[in-house]
Amino acid sequence: MHARTLKNLSRRNLVAAGAALMAATLAPAAMAADNWPDKPLHLIVGFPAGSSPDLTARALAEPLEKKLGQTIIVENRVGAGGNIAGEYVAKADGYTFSVMINGNMTIAKMLNPAVRYDPIKDLQPVSLIGVAPLVLVAPASAPQGKAFMEAAAQAGDKWSYGSPGVGTVGHLGMELLKSRSAIKAVHVPYTGYPQVFNAIQGGDLKLSMLPPALAMAQIQAGKLHGIAVTSAARSPLAPGLPSLKDLGVNNFDLEIWNAVAAPKSMPKAHVEKLAAAVSEIVRTPEMRQKLSMQGWQAVGSSPEGLQNRIQQDVKALGAIIRDQHITSQ
C-alpha cells in the first residue's frame, strides 16, 4: 500500500510539474499578444493627401493611437489606383495596416492579372469603416432628372464621362449604368476625383459619378448639378436626390466603401484586437460625425462582416468586368 501510494503521488507530482511547465511556456506568448502593439504602427494610404481615403485614415489615426497606446505613422504610397499601397501592405509585417477603397480589396487582380498582389489571398479584412452611394453629377446648366437621362441617351457617344481611373468604382458604376440604360457616353480616365470635377466645370465632361463628400459640396455651391444616387434607395448622404431607380434605371445598386486591411503576416489575435479598436472608434458619435462630413455612413464591422461585403462585391463587380470586358492593363 505504501509503495503504491508513493507511486501515485509521484504520478501526481509529474502531472503537476508538466502543467506548470506548460503554463510557463504559454505565458510569454499570451503576454506578447496582450502587449501588441509594442512598437509604432504604419498606416498606409494609396492615395494623395486630401483624398477621401487619406482623410479617413488621418481621422482614425489619432483615436486609434490613444486606444492602442502606440504612435501611428500615416504614409501615402500613391499610384496605380491604390495598388502600389496594396502590394506594399500585402508584403508588410504585422505592424502595418491600411485604409483601402473597395477596389483594392476586391477586384484589383481581376482587372489586371499583372498586379503583384492578390487581395483575396494576400490581405486580411479587419473592419468596414463606412459606405456611401456615388452621386451622378452633371454641369450646373444640365437639365434635371429624367430630362437629363433622355438628353444623355440622345447624345450617344458624343458625350464623355470621367472617372479617377480604369477599374475604379466610378468607372465600373458608369459602365453598369450604360449597360442598363440608353446612355453611351465615352470614358475618359483622370488621376483623381478633383481632376474630374475640374473637367466637368471646364466643359470637357458631361457627367460622372462622384463620392458624396465631393459631389454634395459642389452641388450646394451651385457648381455641379446632382442627378441621382447609385444606391437602391435615396440616401441621407445626398438629401433631396432621387435614386437611379426613381429615374427608370432598374436593378441598380452600387455603393463605395472604405475599410481597414492587414497583411496575412499579422496574427489573427492582433487582427481581432485591431478590428475591435477600429470598430469601437468608428461607432463613437465623434467619428460618426467626422465620417458623415466626409460623405460616409459609419459602419464599424467585424472582420467577418467585412469579409461578407468583399465576397458580395467580387461577385457583383466581377460580373461588370466580364460583361463589359474591362481591363486596366
- What is the rounded average pLDDT of the residues 149-161? 97
Beta strands, E only, 248-302: 255-263, 297-298
Among 25-34, 91-100, 171-180, 259-268, where is mean pLDDT lowest?
A: 25-34
Predicted confidence at residue 295, as pLDDT, reads: 81
User: What confidence category does residue 156 fall into, taking pLDDT thresholds of 50, 70 and 90?
Assistant: very high
Per residue in 239-286, pLDDT (tens digit) is 999 999 999 998 888 888 999 999 999 999 999 999 999 999 999 999
Instruction: With beta carbons less than 8 A apart as the criterion, state whether 163 and 174 touch.
Output: yes
C-alpha cell at 204: 470637357
Check whether 306 has a pLDDT greater than 70.
yes
- Cα 89 to Cα 124: distance, rounded to the nearest angstrom: 10
Report the C-alpha gap between 208 and 142 in whole angstroms. Answer: 13
Question: Is residue 306 a contact partner of residue 131, using CB atoms and an 8 Å limit?
Answer: no
Query: Which pLDDT band holds residue 212 (cuts at 50, 70, 90)?
Result: confident
Distance (Å) of CA 128 to CA 98, 197, 277: 12, 27, 12
- pLDDT confidence of residue 312: 84
Three cell numbers written together for 319: 460580373
What does the pLDDT average to over 103-123? 94
Compute the distance between CA of residue 133 and CA of residue 291 in angstroms, rounded to an integer.
Answer: 14
Mean pLDDT taken over the chain: 89
Give the confidence band of 13 by pLDDT, cuts at 50, 70, 90.
low
Which pLDDT score is estimated for 319?
Answer: 87
pLDDT above 80 for 70: yes
CA 63 to chain centre: 19
- With a CB cutoff of 8 Å and minimum separation 6, the contacts of 78 are 46, 47, 48, 84, 85
Share of the chain above pLDDT 90, in %: 72
Tell which residue, 133, 282, 144, has the closest CA to residue 213.
133
Q: Tell me how far apart the alpha carbons of residues 234 and 241 are, in angstroms, rounded to a whole number.
A: 7
- Whose CA is closest to 119, among 98, 105, 102? 105
pLDDT > 70? residue 169:
yes
Nearest alpha carbon to residue 162 among 140, 136, 181: 136
Q: Evaluate if residue 4 carries a pLDDT over 70.
A: no
Question: What is the predicted pLDDT for the residue at 323?
Answer: 85
Do the Cβ atoms of 265 and 47 come closer than 8 Å? no
Distance CA 118, CA 151 (A): 41
Phi and psi at 169, nearest 5°, equal -65, -30
Instruction: State the pairing for strand pair 135-139/207-210.
Output: antiparallel
pLDDT tens figures, 175-202 = 989 989 999 999 999 988 889 999 999 9
Burial of 34 per CB tally in 10 Å (0-12, 13-18, 19+): exposed
Q: How confident is the model at residue 67 (pLDDT cuts 50, 70, 90)?
A: very high
- Quickly state the pLDDT bin for 6 (edges 50, 70, 90): very low
Instruction: Evaluate the CA torsion angle 66, 307, 80, 136 in order and state its sign.
Output: negative
CA distances from 160 to 48, 67, 200, 203, 249 (A): 25, 47, 10, 10, 20
Q: Is the pLDDT assigned to residue 9 strictly greater than 50? A: no
Query: pLDDT, tens digit, for every residue of 287-299?
Result: 999 998 888 899 9
In this predicted structure, the answer to whether residue 233 has a pLDDT above a threshold of 70 is yes
Domains within the chain, CATH numbers bracketed: 41-131+258-324 (3.40.190.150), 135-247 (3.40.190.10)
| Length of the chain counted residue by residue | 329
Mean pLDDT over 306-310 rounds to: 95
Per-residue confidence at 320, pLDDT binned at 50, 70, 90?
confident
